[in-house]
Every structure is written in C-alpha cells, then in structure tokens.
Amino acid sequence: MSSRQFTLADGAKIPALGLGTWQLDGSKGREAIVHALKCGYRMLDCAFSYGNQDLVAEAIEQSGVSREDLFIVDKLANTWHSAAEDCLDRTLAALKTDTLDLWLMHWPSPLNHHGNHPKCPTLPDGTVDFEKDWNYVKTWQTMIEIQNRRPEVKGLGVANFGIKELEAISFTGVLPLVNQVELHPSLNQEKLHKYCKEKGIQLVAYSPLGSTGSALLLDPDLQVIAEKNNATVAQCLLSWGVAKGWPVIPRSSSPDRLEQNLNILELSVEDIDDISRIGKASPKRYVTAPWHTFEEIV
Ligand code: NDP
C-alpha cells in the first residue's frame, strides 16, 4: 500500500495514504508518528497551527526514515497570512527540514496577526477578529511570489476552499496543486470534486474517518460491507476514498489502528457504489470553524 500514489498537475507524486498529525501531542503523539513511519507511512500532514511541528521533527529523527523518502505537507496558519514568509521560515525550522513537498493555505480566512489569540483572535464583542485590509486572494498571490523565489517550497495548495474561492484565485494563472477538504461518504463533495478534476486540482481527504467520535465508524450499512470484506469499517472508508481517486490522511494515536489503516483494500465496484450512497440523503460536515462559512455541503 505504501507505494500507491497519485500524480499532481506538476508531475509530482503524492502518496495515496498519509498520517494526519492534528491533535497528536505529547509522548503518545510522538510515539504514534514514529510507529507510523516505521510501519510504512510516507506522507505526514502537518500544520503550523497544530502546535506540534517540533514533535513531528523529533519523531522523524527517531524513526530513522530519511527526509528524501518522505512527503511533507504543512499549512500557513490563519493568523500569519500577512506574515506568510515568516510562518514558512518558522515551519521549516521547527520541522528541521529544508523543503516542504506541499505548502497549503490552511483556510481562506486571514485573521489578525496581532490579535488577542494566536489561533482565533476576537474583537471586544466576541466576534472573530479578521486581518484588516487583507484577503485570501492577496495571500495566494503572496504564496506564489514566495514559491517563485524559495526552492524550499516544492508545491502550493489550499485547504477548505470551495468553488467560489477557487474561482476567485484563478485569475493568478497558478492553480493549487491540491485542495484539502473534509471528505468521506457523509460529505462526498461531488460538485467540488467534479470542478477540481476539470481544473487539474487534486482533492485530498481530511477527516476521512469522520474525525473524532466518528458516527460513520458505527454506521450499520458500513459494518455489513466491512464484514463482507473481512475488514474494518475504517479500512473500508479509506479504501473507498482511494478508489474514488483521492489521497486520504487518517489520524490515529493507536499502533494497532495505524497499522490497520495502512491496509487499503481493493473494493468491488458494487461496494464502492454502496458506500457512495451512504450519507447522500443527509450529508454531514463534522469539522467547522468560527472563521469560515462553507458554501456548499456537497
Ligand atoms: P480522522 O477522520 O482521521 O479520524 C480520527 C479519529 O478516528 C480519531 O479519534 C482516531 O482515534 C479514530 N481512528 C483512527 N483509526 C481508526 C480505526 N482504524 N478504527 C477506529 N477508530 C479509528 O480525523 P481527523 O479530523 O484527525 O482528520 C485527519 C487529518 O486530517 C488530521 O489529523 C489533519 O492532519 C487533517 N485535517 C485537516 C484539516 C484542515 O483544515 N485542513 C481539518 C481537519 C483535519 P484513535 O487515535 O484512538 O485511533
């Protein structure tokens, strides 16, 4: 499985499965990353705002896996849009790497760099404190300009972009290589997937298991398909994503589940169609944020 890849618009290869590092903290988090790398994960999905880049760097070092064999994704934090290059430098230093395979805009939501909170600054009335005189289009132009002069950034992408935001940056002539979005059978993003496919933008599935406390893992229809395949529901969800055509980046802090998730199955066309039908009637988004309003649910 670890060798399976998708090809991005610039010809770069992205592994079909990576490790999500959100909320992987402390020694348990570090050990999980070390274990993942030792058992074959080669893509790490990281972010400045996860506050654990040092820990990721320690885990890489401890695993003995060399940088050349890894695909590292990191993301520009919302409160750093107007200081993007500074965020990039801190990211490279914290991860102890000379390069990022992909650098993504984490959200199309620039927040006050000098506000009262490093992740979600607020105004006195409690509403989100957005960066004044700034917008995500300006951020995208800045990221392009940085990539043109900095070989450290191999590829650019975005996350949490809908069609509206992708259209708004298209005049730059530089489309993101990937758009990382919440993507699972309860949020199949059909419209966005079709649009991105036409434009050559690779979707990447975050929260592919339905995130923390996932209701999908308990879905009775998925349990039947899992039993039929002598597999787990998590394996079916990840295999469905890869079969549909996008990399998946599940997170786990458990060695057993990390190994389990690595095992992508070849599902039958019938199983893929059955999984696609789950959640279609009542789509659900599990990850929301106070700084962004999503336009389309599907
Ligand atoms: P996931 O969909 O990966 O689900 C993680 C949860 O599933 C954890 O509670 C984990 O528990 C559990 N789990 C993992 N494997 C199994 C299994 N085999 N069986 C049962 N339970 C399992 O959630 P995330 O929201 O973390 O998404 C994955 C990654 O996507 C993030 O870590 C992050 O890197 C990225 N992401 C990006 C976002 C963005 O804005 N760009 C937003 C959200 C996520 P346990 O640890 O106990 O195994």
How far, in Å, CA of 54 to CA of 43, rounded?
Answer: 17
The answer to whether residues 264 and 257 touch, using CB atoms and an 8 Å cutoff, is no
- Tell me, what's the pLDDT at 297? 59
ipTM of the complex: 0.99
**Site residues for ligand 1, CB cut-off 6 Å:** 20-22, 45, 106, 159-160, 180, 206-212, 214, 217, 232, 234, 249-254, 257, 260-261, 287
Atom of ligand 1 nearest to the CA of 181: 41
- Tell me, what's the pLDDT at 188? 95
Q: Is 206 helix (H, G, I), strand (E, B) or coil?
A: strand
Sorted by where each begins, the domain ranges of the chain are: 5-212+245-252
The answer to whether residues 273 and 13 touch, using CB atoms and an 8 Å cutoff, is no
- Tell me, what's the pLDDT at 2? 53
Q: Is the pLDDT of residue 146 over 90?
A: yes
CATH architecture of 5-212+245-252: Alpha-Beta Barrel (3.20)
Does the annotation list 106 as a binding residue? yes
Q: What percent of the chain has pLDDT over 70?
A: 98
Which residue has a Cα nearest atom 23 of ligand 1?
211
